Amino acid sequence: MRRMRKIKIVATLGPASSDYDMIRKLFEAGADVFRLNMSHGSHDEIGERHRIIRQIEEDLGRPIAILADLQGPKLRVGVFANGEEELAAGQDFRLDLDTAEGDATRVQLPHKEIFEALEPGASLLVNDGKIRLKVKDCGADFADCEVLVGGTISNRKGVNVPDVELPLAALSDKDRKDLEFVCSLGVDWLALSFVQRPRDVEEARELCQGRAAILSKIEKPLAVRNFEAILQASDGIMVARGDLGVELPVQNVPPIQKRLVRKCRAAAKPVIVATQMLESMIESPMPTRAEVSDVATAIYEGADAVMLSAESAAGQYPLEAVATMNNVAMEVEADPTYRDVINASRGGKKETVADAIVSAAREIAETTNIKAICCYSQSGVTALLVGRERPQVPIIAMTSMMGTARRLCLSWGMHCVRTGEVTRFKEAVLNAARAARTEGMAEATDQIVVTAGVPFGVSGSTNILRVAPCEERLIYATDPG
């Protein structure tokens, strides 16, 4: 099954998409990666969805990536005696550690570490920023605040603290249990919520022990400030615009998105643009024009993937949402302006032999009649470098490692093919030619570019490029060894 677009689609599974038939239909409609949201669903439900995805993978003979998204430390107020209260702008309101039920003057905030980090003047945002508080005075167990923007505050509403670096680990006790569970299942990517600093990523990597690639969600201002270090520590990035748009002025989010996507592309690490991409399709079979433009913008920027959340997990039209994203992607990528934008934004330093090889592969493919670039990549590094070049022709990522094939399903342009282990370059060329023909990317009379590293099996050793015919007789004639 070949996708006719380069950007990938991540679909979140949930109550609306939890059985074999629906998940298979989502894949056939265009989903390349399935997200398991650990904020919702029991381990039994998550395990069953994982099993179904792997069954579909086996039935269709195509690798499928699974991304487990950890909940992260959630900050919430306590409960109110009346269930909710109205706060008016200008009034005083206290947050404290008192376990008594709240009223119109105070409520519990059961996070001691927040009070230890707060200072007068700090902002507190409640219920996705609908209520805004400013700290007037604070101590080890309280914060006296002025209500800047009032509204209804109710039980266990979320709290954001945008101005302060919170002394919170990125992994809660629940996250640690969830991490071990999904790694034991065999997920391919692990998304970390509310990352603030690179050591948050390093902690998760130690717990993963190589069982999953680490993807950091950028949703806090501190993560934006620490982005370079977080990117270096991570295998991939998600621009999670939900909390980012709460903790920062909303007008700041689009330029931040564009900068982060470009930095990820330059580093050859996959980047997902997420949150509210087709939000109206939770209840409507048609998206708004603004949502379509939002998806298109991420595609023009060269993001590796765009993500559906509630649209596919709990919405009324999960198949239509995936199909809409697929159709928008195909239309945008067929636009001549798309190629102009991608070419103009191509970046990344060329410092190694591998960098030079993949850059040459793209240039050869785009200046001659080459049908595909076939890259052998055991670890996935070479394939990611080829993807960074954003070539016009298809990329066939050849690997004997199923885990690598699955992880690369998240990356721009990758058509992943699992192959047997090879020991000679001619064998690699023959396998690449067969794959190009079998996958419908080339005919016997066409040519492909093949990149690999010799000796085989050494990560990051790409050192050979060959323009090869797709007809095996000609391969033997030109390389009898």
Give the position of tokens 């670039």. Answer: 373
The residue from 35, 205, 388, 390 that is catalytic is: 35
Q: Is 176 assigned a catalytic role?
A: no
* DSSP-based three-state secondary structure for 464: strand
The residue from 12, 275, 404, 451 that is catalytic is: 275
The residue from 24, 54, 76, 197 that is catalytic is: 76
Peptide bond into 221 cis (omega under 30): no
Q: Is 35 assigned a catalytic role?
A: yes
The H-or-E segment that residue 268 falls in is none
- C-alpha span between 256 and 376 (Å, rounded): 34
Q: Is 217 assigned a catalytic role?
A: yes
Joined tokens for residue 384: 């990611």
On whether the CB atoms of residues 240 and 274 are closer than 8 A, the answer is yes
On whether the CB atoms of residues 160 and 222 are closer than 8 A, the answer is no
Joined tokens for residue 52: 């179904």
Contacts 24+ apart (CB under 8 A), 208-215: 208/179, 208/183, 209/183, 211/183, 211/184, 211/186, 212/68, 212/182, 212/183, 212/187, 212/188, 213/188, 213/189, 213/407, 214/189, 214/190, 215/67, 215/189, 215/190, 215/191, 215/270, 215/272
The residue from 157, 217, 262, 466 that is catalytic is: 217
Give the position of tokens 């993560």. Answer: 223
Q: Which of 71, 309, 74, 45 is nearest to 178 (CA)?
A: 71
Label residue 172 exposed, middle or buried (CB < 10 Å: 0-12, 13-18, 19+). middle
Question: Could you tell me how many helices (H) and strands (E) the chain has, helices first?
Answer: 18, 21
The H-or-E segment that residue 452 falls in is strand 447-452
| Residue 295: φ, ψ to 5° | -60, -45
Q: The sheet that has 447-452: what strands, in order across it?
A: 414-418, 395-399, 370-376, 447-452, 464-469
Concatenated DSSP letters of 311-337: HHHTSS-HHHHHHHHHHHHHHHHTSHH
Q: Which residues are catalytic?
A: 35, 76, 217, 275
